[in-house]
Amino acid sequence: MLYALCSNIMELSDVLNKIKGQEGQEKEYFWALQVWDDGVKSAIWTIEDEKTKVISLGSYEVWQETVEDLVTAADKSLATASERFPQPEKEPSKVIFGLPYDWVEGEKIKQEKLQTLQTICEKLDLSAIGYVLTVDALVHHLKEVEGVPPSAILVSPQKEQVLVAVADRGDVEKVEQVKRSENLAEDVYEGLLRTKEIETLPSRMLLFNGGDMEDSRQVLIDFPWEQKLPFLHFPKVEILPVEFDISSICLAGGTEVAKSMGFKVSTEEVEIKPEVEVEKVPDFGFIKGKDIKEEVPEEQVSPEEKVEEVVSPPVELGTQETEKAEEIKEELPATGKKKTFLAPFFFIKEKISGFSLPSFSGVPFWGIFAGVMILLLATAGVLFLWYIPKAQVVVYVSPKPLEKDFSLTVDPNQEALDRQNLILPAKAIESESSGEKTAGTTGKKTVGDKAKGEVTIFNTGGTKNLATGTILTGPGGLKFTLDGDVSVGSGSAVDREEVKTTVSAADIGADYNLAADSQFSIANLDKSTIGAKNDSALTGGTSRQIQAVSEEDQKSLLDSLTEELEEKAKEELLATVPSGKKLIEESITAKETSRNFDNKVGDEAQTLTLSLKIKVSALTFSQDEFFSLAQEQIAGSIPEDYEAKKEEVNSNFEVEKQEKDGSILFRVLVSARLLPVIDTEEIAKNIRGKYPQLAQEYLATLPGYVNSEIDIRPLLPGKIRTLPRVAKNIQIEIRSQ
C-alpha cells in the first residue's frame, strides 16, 4: 500500500511541530502533485501565519501511456517548481496528490492507480500524506475567490476522454467521463445528458487542466445548448487560468491535510458546509465524507481569519542599482505571469541616480511621491468600484392567467377612439401581388373520326323530301345523318323509286363501321313505305382517349395560386405596418384583378398555366389605443397587487359581422399573464452593494418569485464582485416564467 511503501514519512507529532514553524523551529514545506490521464502539474506550499500559502509553481507536463512516462513528466514539473523555490536547502519530501474522479472507487484509490502513485513515490523519493479530488478542490477554491458557492459545469478535455462535472451552489452533483471524439461540444452534451435528474443546469461552463483552450471554448460557444438541454439561458463559457487547479489543490487540499494533522489553519467563514472532501483511507491516512469542522476543534477555527489566495513567488530585488531589469521580467511559464510589478520604479531609480532629489521634513522625495501615487490609485480604485460597475437583474415571477372576451368594432372611417361604444379607429392598407403557376392536367377526353359511306333510299309511298341532317337509324340503334338534302319520288311496291346519297355517323368510334346490306329506318317515317340500305360497308369510324383540361384543373390551380399570392401579400402588408400599429389578420381580404389560363376546358394539354393578379387589403389599429380599451375591460378582474403589462397581453379576433362601409364587428378574446406589482426602484436600493448570492436571497422574498439572473459588468474578481453601490446603475426587469 502506498502509505506503507513511503517509508520516510515521519511521525505525526514531528510533522506537527515542523509545519507550525514555531520560534526556533524550521518551517516545513510540502509538494502538491496533480495527476490526470495525460498531464501533471506541481507546486510547493506551506503554512505561514496560520494560512496556506503557495510558494512556487511547477510546469505543465504531458505524459503518454506508460507509468515511466508519468514519472518522467512528474519529475520535470517538480524540478521546475524546485528551481523557483527560494530556499532549495529546505526542498520538501512530502506530497499531497490531486487526482481525477475515475482514479477513485468508493472509499479507496483503485488498485492499479495506487500502484502508479507508489511508483512515483519510490522513483522520486516522496512520502505521500494524502490526496484530494481535483474537481472538489476547484469548487472549493472558486467559492473562496468569488465569495459565493459556485454553480457551474466544469469541463476538462483530455486526450482519451472528457471530464464533465456539474456543481450546484458549491456541491458537486454529478461527475461524468465521456470518451473523447472529434467534437468537444458533442462530448460535453453526452455527459450532460447523463445528468437528466438535474432539472436546471448552471448557465456557466469552466474549462480547466489545459494550456491554450481558446479553440475548445469557441466550439462550446457555437453549440446550441438552449435548444437541447434545460438551460435558463445560453451558458457563458470561460477558461480558468492554467495554474488554477494546482493552486486549488494546494489551498483547499493542503488546508484539509493540515487540519487532519491537527494544525490550526485559518479559514474564511461561509454559510454552507465545505465542499472539499479530503480522503484518509488506509492507503493515505485520511477520512472521506467528514465536514471540516468535525475534524478540527471548534476553538481552532476563527471566523475572521481567511485562507490566503494564490500568490506568485515573491520577487526579491537586490539592494544594488546595477541589477538588470531582465531578471525582474523573467517569465513564469507555469502561470503565464511575469515579474514586472516593480520594473517601472526600478528603471526610474536607475536613470536619475546621478543626482539627488529634495526631501521634505526628513522624508525623501521618493517616499512622498510613492505615497501620493498610492493615494491617487486608491482613490481612483474606490471611485471606479463605486460608480463604474453596472448590473442587469432579471427577476422571473410566476404569472396569473386571465381571459376575457368582448365585442369591438374596428372602423376605418372613425377618427377617434370611442370608449363608450367600443369603436376602435383603424386604417386600411393594401398590397398587390401577382404570379404565375403551372400544374399538370387530370381531365380525360375521347376524340376520333366518324364513319361515312353511301346508302340507297327507296320509297313506295309518295314523294318524300329529306333535309340534311335527317337521322337514319341502323343496326343496334346506331344513328347516322344525311350529308345533303334528298327528294325521293313515288313508286309502286314492285317498281320502287330509289336515290343514292351519303351519310355520316352521328358520333365517332369504330362501332359505326357497318357491313354492306345493313338496313336503316329514316326518322319517324313508316318503315313499310320508306327505308335505306348500304350496298357497300360504312368505314372510317375511329376513337381514342386524350389528356385534356378539366374544370377541376382550373379551379384547383386558381385556389392554389390565390393562396400563395395572399400569403405573399400578407407578408408585404405586415412589413409595412408602422411601429406601434397592429394588423388584424382576420380582416385580410383578397380581390382578383386579372386571371388568364393558357388553355380552355376540354383542350388537349399535358399542363395548365395560370397568370393571376390580386389586391389584398387589411385593417390596422393603434396598439396603445387597443391596450387601453382592453385594460378597461379586464380591470375589474385583475386581483389586487397584480398588473397587466402590455407585452403580457395577447388578443384573438373573430369576425362577427362585416359592414358595407368597411367596418368590422369583432369578438375579441383577451388573454393576459398578470404579474405582481413590484417596485423596481426599491429593489435596486435593497440589493445595491450586495454579493450576488445575498441579492438572490433577497429577490427570493418577492411575491411570485421563481428565479433570477444577475449580470455584473465589468466582471470583477473575488470579494469585490458585488452589485453596484449606486442604485441607478442597477437595471431591474420583471418577466414571467
Confidence of residue 468 (pLDDT cuts 50, 70, 90): very high
Last residue of a domain, one of 361, 385, 409: 385
623: nearest Cα among 646, 645, 643, 644: 646
Between 566 and 264, the more confident residue is: 566
In single-letter form, the type of residue at position 668 comes to V
Confidence of residue 691 (pLDDT cuts 50, 70, 90): confident
pLDDT at 607: 92
pLDDT at 332 > cutoff 80: no
pLDDT at 3 > cutoff 70: no
The pLDDT of 677-689, averaged and rounded, is 90
- Domain span including residue 380: 325-385
138 lies in some domain: yes
pLDDT at 569 > cutoff 60: yes
pLDDT at 51 > cutoff 70: yes
Question: What is the arrangement of strands in the sheet containing 705-713, beginning at the earlier edge strand?
Answer: 705-713, 390-397, 730-736
Q: Can you name the residues that pair with 133 across neighbouring β-strands? A: 99
Cα gap 42→226, rounded to integer Å: 38
For the stretch 333-355, pLDDT in tens is 333 333 332 233 233 233 333 33
Which of 635-639's residues contact partners 24+ apart within 8 Å by CB, and which partners? 637/402, 637/404, 638/402, 638/674, 639/400, 639/674
pLDDT at 300 > cutoff 90: no
User: In the chain, pLDDT over 90 holds for what percent of residues?
Assistant: 25
The pLDDT of 660-666, averaged and rounded, is 87
**Which residues, in sequence order, are CB contacts of 179 under 8 Å at separation 6+?**
160, 161, 162, 187
Phi, psi for residue 198 in degrees, rounded to 5: -85, 115
What are 198's three cell numbers? 438535474
Residues 134 and 250 in one domain: yes
User: In the chain, pLDDT over 70 holds for what percent of residues?
Assistant: 80
Residues 652 and 503 in one domain: no
pLDDT at 104 > cutoff 70: yes
Phi, psi for residue 402 in degrees, rounded to 5: -145, 135
Residues 437 and 461 in one domain: no
Residues 250 and 352 in one domain: no
The pLDDT of 302-306, averaged and rounded, is 34
Block residue for cell numbers 375511329? 542
DSSP state of 376: H
Block residue for cell numbers 546621478? 354
Residues 379 and 395 in one domain: no
pLDDT at 211: 66
Last residue of a domain, one of 267, 300, 333: 300
CATH number for the domain spanning 90: value is 3.30.420.40
For the stretch 144-176, pLDDT in tens is 888 889 999 999 988 888 899 999 988 888 899
The pLDDT of 461-470, averaged and rounded, is 87
Residues 139 and 161 in one domain: yes
pLDDT at 392 > cutoff 90: yes
Full-model pTM: 0.38
pLDDT at 475 > cutoff 90: yes
267-276, 461-470, 533-542, 655-664 — most confident range = 533-542
Q: Rg of the chain's alpha carbons, rounded to an integer? A: 48
316 lies in some domain: no
704: nearest Cα among 654, 657, 655, 648: 648
What are 542's three cell numbers? 375511329
For the stretch 313-327, pLDDT in tens is 333 333 333 333 333
Q: What is the DSSP string of 90-138?
A: G---EEEEEE-GGGEETTEE-HHHHHHHHHHHHHHT-EEEEEEEHHHHH
What are 642's three cell numbers? 397584480
pLDDT at 293 > cutoff 80: no
573 lies in some domain: yes
Residues 199 and 233 in one domain: yes
Cα gap 331→334, rounded to integer Å: 9
CATH number for the domain spanning 514: value is 2.40.30
310 lies in some domain: no
Confidence of residue 637 (pLDDT cuts 50, 70, 90): confident
pLDDT at 25: 52
Confidence of residue 260 (pLDDT cuts 50, 70, 90): low
Residues 256 and 329 in one domain: no
**Strand boundaries in 151-302, DSSP class E:** 152-157, 161-168, 171-179, 204-207, 236-239, 278-279
Q: Can you name the residues that pair with 53 across neighbouring β-strands? A: 46
Confidence of residue 641 (pLDDT cuts 50, 70, 90): confident
70 lies in some domain: yes
Residues 371 and 406 in one domain: no
pLDDT at 393 > cutoff 90: yes
> CA 58: distance to chain centroid?
39
Residues 521 and 537 in one domain: yes
Residues 165 and 130 in one domain: yes
pLDDT at 365: 66
Report how many helices (DSSP H) and strands (DSSP E) the chain contains, helices first: 18, 39
460 lies in some domain: yes
The average confidence (pLDDT) of the chain is 78
Cα gap 178→173, rounded to integer Å: 17
Cα gap 313→87, rounded to integer Å: 12
Three-class DSSP category at 259:
helix
Last residue of a domain, one of 340, 364, 385: 385
Confidence of residue 609 (pLDDT cuts 50, 70, 90): very high
pLDDT at 577: 87
The pLDDT of 433-440, averaged and rounded, is 92
Cα gap 429→616, rounded to integer Å: 8
pLDDT at 363: 56
126-135, 176-185, 473-482 — most confident range = 473-482
pLDDT at 303 > cutoff 50: no
Number of compact structural domains in the chain:
4
The pLDDT of 470-491, averaged and rounded, is 88
Residues 620 and 603 in one domain: yes
For the stretch 485-497, pLDDT in tens is 998 876 544 456 7
715 lies in some domain: yes
Q: Which residues of 60-99 are buried (b: 16+ CB within 10 A; e: fewer)?
A: bbebeeebeebbbbbbbbbebbbebbeeeeeebbbbbbbb
pLDDT at 549 > cutoff 70: yes
pLDDT at 255: 67
319 lies in some domain: no
DSSP state of 240: -
2: nearest Cα among 105, 96, 100, 81: 96
What are 177's three cell numbers? 467521463
pLDDT at 26: 67
What are 104's three cell numbers? 477513485
pLDDT at 478: 94
Question: In 10 A of CB 652, how many CB atoms?
Answer: 14
Asked if residues 276 and 136 have their Cβ atoms less than 8 Å apart, the reply is: yes
Question: In 10 A of CB 295, how many CB atoms?
Answer: 17
Three-class DSSP category at 636:
helix
**Which residues, in sequence order, are CB contacts of 25 under 8 Å at separation 6+?**
17, 18
pLDDT at 449: 92
User: How many residues does the structure list for the chain?
Assistant: 737
